[in-house]
Amino acid sequence: MAAALPLLRAAGERPLKTFVLALAVLAAVAVALWFVLGRARPAEVPFAAVEPETIESVLTTNGRVEPVEWAVARAERPGLVVSLPVERGQAVAKGAILAATDASGARAALASAEARIEQARALLSTVERGGPAAERASIDGELAQARLERQSAEREAAALERLVAKQAATAHDLTIARQRIAQAEAAAEVFAAHGYVPVGLDHFALPKDAL
């Protein structure tokens, strides 16, 4: 009995060892197959189709907008605006009418200016003809009086020069006579200021008469 018991144990342990060995072999084969098949198959990578799109990025901040060039538009004369040919924000060309104002005041000012021009032309025409009749008559009378006084002063001065040479008159009398001539010449300057010019020694006339 003692000899039979070890034999039974050896017989029972042999199938167990065989089974364990078979499992180990199968596991090794499975690992080898997984390793070979896993390396041979390409890895799967998820992806998405690319489509072009516009990326919008909004940045909120504070700022100030300034024009490249400033331009001031204003009317030359004050007045009531009667029409606006352009609209706000509209692009306009150089010289375009931006607004129209009431021109009644400007027309009245133009009429007044034209009337003053005509008045000035009439006055100029009168002056070219010798001035107003009353003023010219007064100047003619003063001219005649100055002419007589100058002639008298020149005759008296000539006579006194001869008397002084003969020692029949004093130098003081000659000085007074020459002063009278100077006064007559001053009167000539007055006539020249009125538009008269000397013609000869004792005559004055308007420039057109002198020609």
Q: What is the pLDDT of residues 27-67, one digit of tens each?
A: 777 777 776 665 555 667 777 787 888 888 888 888 888 87
Is 136 part of a structural domain of the chain?
Answer: yes
Is 16 part of a structural domain of the chain?
Answer: no
Interacting residues of 173 by C-beta distance below 8 A, sequence separation 6+:
160, 163, 164
Query: Is 112 a residue whose pLDDT tops 70?
Result: yes
Determine what percent of the chain is predicted with pLDDT higher than 70. 55
Which range of residues forms the domain containing residue 142? 126-210
How far is Cα 190 from Cα 138, in angstroms, rounded to an integer? 13
Query: Is 147 a residue whose pLDDT tops 80?
Result: no
Is 163 part of a structural domain of the chain?
Answer: yes
H runs (alpha helix) in 53-132: 104-128
Is 18 part of a structural domain of the chain?
Answer: no
Tokens 């006339």 map to which residue? 205
| pTM, entire model | 0.28
Total domain count, the chain: 1
Phi-psi category of 153—alpha, beta or left, where left has phi over 0 and alpha has psi -120 to 50?
alpha
